[in-house]
Chains A and B, each alone.
Chain A
Amino acid sequence: MDGHSILTSPLAGSIGMWIGGLLTLMIFSFLYRDNPFYKFAEHLFVGVSAAYWMVVGFWSTLVPNLIAQLWPSHMGNLVPSAVGKKPDIWYMIPLVFGILMLMRLSPKANWLSRWAMAFVIGFAAGTNFTRYLQSDFVTQIHSSIEPIYTPGLSAMGTIGDIFSKVIIVGGLLSALIYFYFSKEHKGVFGRAARMGIWVLMAAFGATFGYTVMARISLLTGRMDFIIRWFGSTGRWIGGIFT
């Protein structure tokens, strides 16, 4: 029986369901008050999550994308695609940077990790700057200011389309005015800033509504799980007595 078959076997499914069900109840118990069961489940979740990410990151990225590139002859049994390949010495650079990053664990040599960190921050800042500028600034301005009239729509469609565009441009400008503090918010400027507050409130309201929907979705998922757990347990107990 391979690993996947074991994980998908009925016994593993039952054990997994019991663990999941009990941990769910432990987390739900916080709704009544803080307690050791909740703390245990919370700490277990944090520990398992950290370990999971580390293990998956090692086997799915470090092994095939670094170790197998440097020592392909030794990795043939783990990474079949490495068989017959020659070592690529360019991968020594990420290996060195990776080791430098681990120097953070050493109190005496932790300053060495700054070089690797500088590389990561420089790369992230450089790529993010250009992409955010293009996608979230230039293109968003372009998307916000559209021709007021779109040909080919019905009369009602045209009215709706124009109304929608006016709302977008008006809302955008008034929200921007609200955040402009170099001029006192008085007169027409003040009224526009006040409208900006309403626009922001509408946006916060929509975000809150969506957040509620998200949380209820997750609660529904857990409730559904608990119903299935109780159902399967009830069938199991019923099977014992019949």
Chain B
Amino acid sequence: MADQEVKLTIVERLGRVDRRIIFLVIGLSVLIPLLVHYTTAIPASPIVQDLFDMVENLPAGSKVLLSLDYAPSTAPENQPMATSIARHCFEKGHRIYMISLWATGPRQAMELIDDVITPEFPGKKQGEDWVNLGYKAGGQGLINTLLADFRAMYTTDVNGIGVDALPMMEGIKTLKNFDLIYCIGSGQPGNKEWIQFAGDPGRIPVGGGTTAVMAPQLYPYYPKQTVGLLGGLQGAAEYEAALLARYPKYKDMSRVASEKMGPQVSAHLVIAAFIILGNITFVIERRRRKKS
């Protein structure tokens, strides 16, 4: 009887654990795997593999519109997606047209250029193989306009060079001139608007990646209205896995999303343990109350 009372007290204590202890444990569950470089293998799921295959099967020289519709606040999820698609496009000889529906997007494009495009693909030329056209306000209104007349809104690139002077802009009159719209988004405007205002009315293939928060809202568009979708960090890690399987040279290069899946696994286990623990203590306490 005395043992039972002690056990119940422990259960009660567990049920009333300070939230700061929970924060600390979750923090450690993320920090420790980062310090010991713990990672897990994530194979590509069909929704990611379909998008990979789409990029893979486009003929060399295809035009890929890369819309970076996110801010630094979600860069840990979104930036690895941008890295993977840039690597994949240039491996296949595609051309990348970077734009943004978010004012914070051009800064992310600059990071992509400085960290990936310039050091890894020095042979790729600005204006011929890639261009950063920058941000324009308007959201879905902007997409609507671009579908009818791309150059009405994008008269220059971010450096102020007229689009007529850029060789890769030759033949680009509307969104329909692109072979794939690849949106990396984290909210509105983003993936949903690209599907609604460009993909569906223009019958243009739309794919991309999004933050995990947004992913469940976008899965219903697959496979009819979107080619594929990278859902959060896991989606980014899956795309990296598909890229690595096709291009083994990336084995020794930085694969940010895959490297951060270790902390994901450990943190999820800790959160699941806390949820189970919370429910057990709740049930035990409820039984005790009923008895008393």
Contacts and interface: CB of A to CB of B under 8 A. Distances in A.
22 contacts: A8-B114, A56-B103, A57-B103, A57-B137, A61-B138, A64-B155, A79-B156, A131-B200, A132-B196, A134-B201, A136-B196, A139-B200, A212-B271, A213-B268, A214-B213, A217-B76, A217-B77, A217-B264, A218-B76, A218-B77, A220-B30, A227-B31
Chain B at the A interface: SS class: helix
Contact of A219 (B30, B156, B234): B30
Nearest 3 pairs of A and B residues by beta carbon: A221-B76, A81-B162, A214-B212
User: Which of the listed residues B103, B114, B200 has the most CB atoms from chain A within 10 Å of its own CB?
Assistant: B103
Interface in B227-262: 231-234, 260
B264 to A, nearest CB: 6
A213 B137 contact: no
Given A123-B141, A217-B233, A81 B224 contact: no
User: Which of the listed residues B30, B138, B212, B215 has the most CB atoms from chain A within 10 Å of its own CB?
Assistant: B212
Given A213-B268, A224-B76, 10 more contacts: A57-B103, A64-B155, A65-B153, A127-B197, A134-B200, A135-B200, A142-B224, A214-B213, A218-B73, A220-B267
A166 B246 CA distance: 35
B174 interface: no
B276 interface: no
B263 A223 contact: yes
A80 B216 contact: no
Chain A at the B interface: SS class: helix
A36 B141 CA distance: 41
B106 A61 contact: no
B220 interface: yes
Category for how many chain B residues contact A: 35 or more
B165 to A, nearest CB: 8
A154 interface: no
A62 to B, nearest CB: 8
Interface of A: 8, 31-32, 52-53, 56-57, 60-61, 64-65, 68, 78-81, 123-124, 127-128, 131-132, 134-136, 139-140, 142-143, 203, 206-207, 210-214, 216-224, 227
Given A31-B20, A217-B232, A218-B77, A206 B264 contact: no
Contacts of A140: 220
B160 A213 contact: no
B212 A211 contact: yes
Contacts of B260: 217, 220-221, 224
A150 to B, nearest CB: 12
A142 B135 CA distance: 35
Interface in B140-194: 140-141, 144, 153, 155-156, 158, 160-165
B231 A210 contact: yes
Contacts of B104: 52-53, 56
